Amino acid sequence: MVEKKTEGTEVSEAEVAVHWKEEGYYHPPRDFIAQANMTDESIYKRFSLENFPDCFKEYADLLSWDQYWHTTLDTSDAPCFKWFVGGKINASYNCIDRHLAKYRNKAAIIFVPEPEDADPVSITYQDLYVRVNEFAALLRDFVGLKAGDRVTIHMPMVTELPVSMLACARLGVIHSVVFGGFSGQACGDRVADSKSHVIITMDGYYRNGQLLDHKQKAEEAIKIAEKGGQKVDKVLIWQRHPGKYSSETKLVEGRDFIVNDLLKKYVGKRVDPVPMPAEGILFLMYTSGTTGKPKAAQHSIGGYLTYVTGTSKYVQDIHPEDVYWCMADIGWITGHSYIVYGPLALAATSVIYEGVPTYPDAGRPWRIAQRLNVNIFHTAPTAIRGLRKLGPDEPAKYNYRFKHMTTVGEPIEPEVWKWYYKSVGKEKAVIVDTWWQTENGGFLCSTMPAIHPMKPGSAGPGVPGIHPVIFDEDGKELPLGSNKAGNVCIRNPWPGMFQTIWGDRARYVSTYFAKYNKKKDSKDWRDWPYMAGDAAMLAADGYFRILGRVDDVINVAGHRLGTKELESCCLVVPEVAEAAVVPRNDELKGKIPDVYVALKPGVKPSKEIEEAVKKAIEENIGKFARPKDVYIVPDMPKTRSGKIMRRVLATLSNRSDKVGDVTTLMNPEVVEVIKKMVLER
């Protein structure tokens, strides 16, 4: 963290990480290089700043355009950049129709249900074409949706999710997919913010051996959305088991519709893909920021698809022959870019797994890999840690062979990286550690798998066309190998970059650009470096090591949660007067929220209040955000100006003594009390 050191209490991730030693290199295997899509180092020259922005034509030409663009990059509304202006394109056409001639009968998607006694289901490109067309016809003719409308999709990991997304894309309808694990309330907030009239959901799905009732969340979502001023007219419900309704929730006449029934009327229907302006909106993806209100990254059609296709081809090394499995959830950006849009644009076979990686045991992913002959594998450090802990020797028992593996979402500890490399990859797979964010559409830093050696714990240099830089607090560039952490920024815009925060341009500018922009009215992209909000270090070899967030965002098992949004959930509990949420290091999840609350005068601390706080977080955000501990403290440690010193609490939560000098606090004595409380847990 690049905070000022005045308070002497920083538990900065930067500092923790600076103690990591430099790791040695691992070289990509020869047989990987022999088949790789990109082995030519001169790509970095072609994508140098000198050739910016036209270099991205190389990626755009991987797509089929209805109409070619006249302006590669329009900066007239900087920093809201427009790519490929004048171009017309359809994302659904690019992910499906154009592959039919060659790959009609090849699997586009292989769905793996969580119950292991159910066989995987392959969906060919022809099947996908039929299903997307019929559902698009339903959306257009039954629901009345048209280009530019927003639809909220709150679904689990099933084939019907990409079918729904691609049907929207076919019509130019903007989808806003909300992670299925989010609560009804969280979904409702997003329905209201995006002004969706329609929710697409599913009755139930399997998770950890249980068939969960998912439709019930829609009820809550609708109530919350209405409170937020948005009425939902229609709920479209897919059946997890077609022909059977697997939810306890009653259907509301005139509002709720079973998709599987409605579709009977659309058998054989075809919908022409709507040629959309390249700078039209493909989707919204909500993410957490420093204030309580979630914000939606608004992603374009042409630029986004260009960028995910290019990076899927060269960084993920996807060929149409590959069986590619990304274990992320489609409800997060990784799933959008690297399960759905990128792989399908390249005519790959993309695996969708419904359930928990360790269900029923830690051998499950390797059995899936063996059964489907997966050769590209993509997951997050939190899953790798979990699999390593529960079944360190499991991968050796199965006969699969990965050529390529990805890690994404949080920094990976070198020890965990090495297990991934040796045990999961059997020392035969190349690894890419890809650093990027919801806002970015696709990768920012990574090694190029057949070009660079890997270095455990380091993402690598900027990918082609991405020019990262580290600035100190004053905007001075930190040189290569300075061994200092700073704010990682990208000097230039790129096609996958979000266009703005949906409905909040001012927040877009202030969050990502204001700090290092020197000329507010500049139309020159050079004046608008993008600030990612992560601390990073740049080693002498040009590899970036990402150290973690500099803002109030906690990365829990690769899920971004805003401190403020968690804190405001705690205040829903009537007895709570003040709340502070801090990140606590966790062996498996990377970070988990620890919660400190102070009660209203006269209220006695109790286990019930602690439980109520945990429940409030589960209900408002989702079970995945449940805090480990809730501490009821007599008072929050505060500065003299009354600011809660979260860093003191974070230090204590992480069982460190180094709270530093607290004598300048308004209430230094409370620190000892809280310390004792924490140590006694």
Q: Does 295 bind ligand WTA (CB under 6 A)?
A: no
| 435 forms part of the interface with ligand WTA (CB under 6 A) | yes
Tokens of 244: 């059977």
Asked if 413 interacts with ligand WTA (CB under 6 A), we say no
> Do 152 and 200 form a contact (C-beta atoms < 8 A)?
yes
Q: Where are the strands (E) in 76-196, listed by range? A: 82-85, 88-89, 107-112, 121-124, 150-155, 174-179
Residue closer to ligand WTA by CB (options 206, 530) is: 530
What DSSP designation does 110 have?
A: E
For the CB of residue 62, give the shortest distance to ligand WTA in the complex, in Å. 21
Please spell the DSSP secondary structure of 246-257, one letter per residue: --SSPPPTTTEE
Angle 184-194/607-620 helices, nearest 10 degrees?
40
The CB-of-520 to ligand WTA minimum distance in angstroms stands at: 25
Residue number with CB closer to ligand WTA (170 or 559): 559
Please work out, in degrees rounded to the nearest 5, the angle formed at the alpha carbon of residue 290 by the alpha carbons of 288 and 291: 90
Q: Using an 8 Å Cβ cutoff, are 584 and 632 in contact?
A: no
Choice between 88 and 549, CB closer to ligand WTA = 549
581 versus 633: smaller Cβ distance to ligand WTA: 581
| 631/580 Cα distance (integer angstroms) | 10
- Residue 408 binding ligand WTA, by CB under 6 A: yes
* Integer Cα distance of 85 and 75 in angstroms: 11
Tokens 């993920």 sit at which residue? 316
CB of 446 to ligand WTA, least distance (A): 8
Count of C-beta atoms within a 10 Å radius of residue 484 = 14
Q: Is 398 exposed, middle or buried (0-12, 13-18, 19+ CB in 10 A)?
A: middle
| Residue placing its CB nearer to ligand WTA in the complex, 363 or 562 | 562
CB of 560 to ligand WTA, least distance (A): 5
Residue type present at position 245: Y
Q: Among residues 123 and 408, whose Cβ is nearest to ligand WTA?
A: 408
- AA identity, residue 24: G
Site for ligand WTA in 600-659 (CB under 6 A): none
119: which residues sit within 8 A by CB, 6+ positions away?
none
DSSP for 365-425? HHHHHHHHT--EEEE-HHHHHHHHHH-TTSGGGS----SEEEEESS---HHHHHHIIIIIS
In angstroms, rounded to a whole number, what is the distance separating the alpha carbons of residues 46 and 31? 26
- How near is the Cβ of 571 to ligand WTA at its closest, in Å? 25
Give min distance, CB of 191 to ligand WTA, in A.
Answer: 20
Least distance from ligand WTA to the Cβ atom of residue 550, Å: 9
Which of residues 256, 410, 552, 610 is near ligand WTA by CB under 6 A?
A: 410
Which residues are bridge partners to 210 per DSSP?
Answer: 207
Our finding on whether 166 is near ligand WTA (CB under 6 A) is no
Taken as a whole, the chain contains a residue count of 681
Q: Give SS3 for 643.
A: coil
Could you say which DSSP state residue 307 is in?
Answer: H
The nearest distance, CB 441 to ligand WTA, in angstroms, is: 10
Instruction: Give the torsion sign (CA, 239, 243, 249, 252).
Output: positive
Q: Does 555 bind ligand WTA (CB under 6 A)?
A: yes
Nearest approach in angstroms of CB 176 to ligand WTA is: 15
3-state secondary structure of 534: strand
Q: By C-alpha distance, which of 492, 672, 624, 359 is closest to 79? A: 492
* Nearest distance in Å: CB 588, ligand WTA: 16
Nearer to ligand WTA among residue 180 and residue 411 (C-beta): 411
CB 225 within 8 A of CB 192: yes
CB distance 127 to 372 below 8 Å: no
What is the dihedral angle through the alpha carbons of 52, 53, 57, 58, rounded to the nearest 10 degrees? 30
Q: Give the integer Cα–Cα distance in Å for 129 and 674.
A: 59
Q: Kindly tell me which of 287 and 382 has the beta carbon lying closer to ligand WTA.
A: 287
Q: What is the DSSP string of 435-463?
A: B--GGGSS-SB---TTTSPB-TT--BSBP
- Of the candidate residues 140, 560, 584, 647, the single one contacting ligand WTA (CB under 6 A): 560
Q: Which is nearer to ligand WTA, 175 or 364 (CB)?
A: 175
Q: Is 467 in the site for ligand WTA (CB under 6 A)?
A: no
* Phi-psi label, residue 22: left if phi above 0, alpha if psi -120 to 50, beta otherwise: beta
Which residue, 215 or 549, has its beta carbon nearer to ligand WTA?
549
Does the protein bind ligand WTA through residue 290 (CB under 6 A)?
no
Cβ at position 412, least distance to ligand WTA in Å: 7
Pick left, alpha or beta for residue 441 (phi over 0 → left; psi -120 to 50 → alpha; otherwise beta). left
Q: Which conformational region is residue 519 in: left (phi greater than 0), alpha (psi within -120 to 50 degrees), or beta?
A: beta
State which residue, 52 or 421, has the beta carbon closest to ligand WTA: 421
| Residue with Cβ nearer ligand WTA (32 or 530) | 530
Is residue 360 reached through a cis peptide bond, with omega within 30 degrees of 0 on the bond before it? yes
C-alpha atoms less than 13 angstroms from C-alpha of 167 in its C-beta half-sphere: 26
Please, which of residues 328-367 interact with ligand WTA by CB under 6 A? 332-334
- CB contact at 8 A, 544 and 478: no
# of chain residues touching ligand WTA (CB under 6 A): 23
Give the interface segment with ligand WTA, choosing from 24-32, 388-396, 402-410, 613-621 (CB under 6 A). 402-410
Residue 304, interface with ligand WTA (CB under 6 A)?
Answer: no
In the complex with ligand WTA, the residue whose CB is nearer, 92 or 379, is 379
Q: How far is the CB of 358 from ligand WTA (least distance, A)?
A: 21
- Applying CB under 6 A, the span of 132-140, 245-253, 268-276, 545-553 interacting with ligand WTA comes to 545-553
- Shorter beta-carbon distance to ligand WTA: residue 174 or 532: 532
Residue 470 near ligand WTA by CB under 6 A: no
If binding is defined by CB under 6 A, does position 287 make contact with ligand WTA? yes
317, 433, 552, 594: which one contacts ligand WTA (CB under 6 A)?
433
Residue 220 amino acid letter: E
Stretch 496-535: interaction string toward ligand WTA, x if CB under 6 A: ------------------------------------xxx-
CB 175 → ligand WTA: shortest distance, Å?
18
Does 420 bind ligand WTA (CB under 6 A)? Our answer is no
The alpha carbon torsion through 334, 193, 582, 437 (nearest 10 deg) reads: 20
Region binding ligand WTA by CB under 6 A among candidate stretches 34-42, 197-205, 318-326, 434-442: 434-442
Of 126-134, 163-171, 181-189, 427-435, the window that binds ligand WTA (rule: CB under 6 A) is 427-435
Please identify, using beta-carbon distances, which residue of 557 and 630 lies nearer to ligand WTA.
557
Nearer to ligand WTA, 230 or 309 (CB): 309
CB of 443 to ligand WTA, least distance (A): 9
What minimum distance in Å lies between the beta carbon of 10 and ligand WTA? Answer: 17
Q: Mind giving me the DSSP string for 574-597?
A: TTEEEEEEEEEEETTTEEEEEEEE
> Between 53 and 548, whose beta carbon lies closer to ligand WTA?
548
Q: Using the rule CB under 6 A, is 182 a contact of ligand WTA?
A: no
Among 113, 280, 294, 548, binds ligand WTA (CB under 6 A): 548
Question: What residues make contact with ligand WTA under the rule CB under 6 A?
Answer: 287, 332-334, 408-411, 433-438, 459, 532-534, 546, 548-549, 555, 560
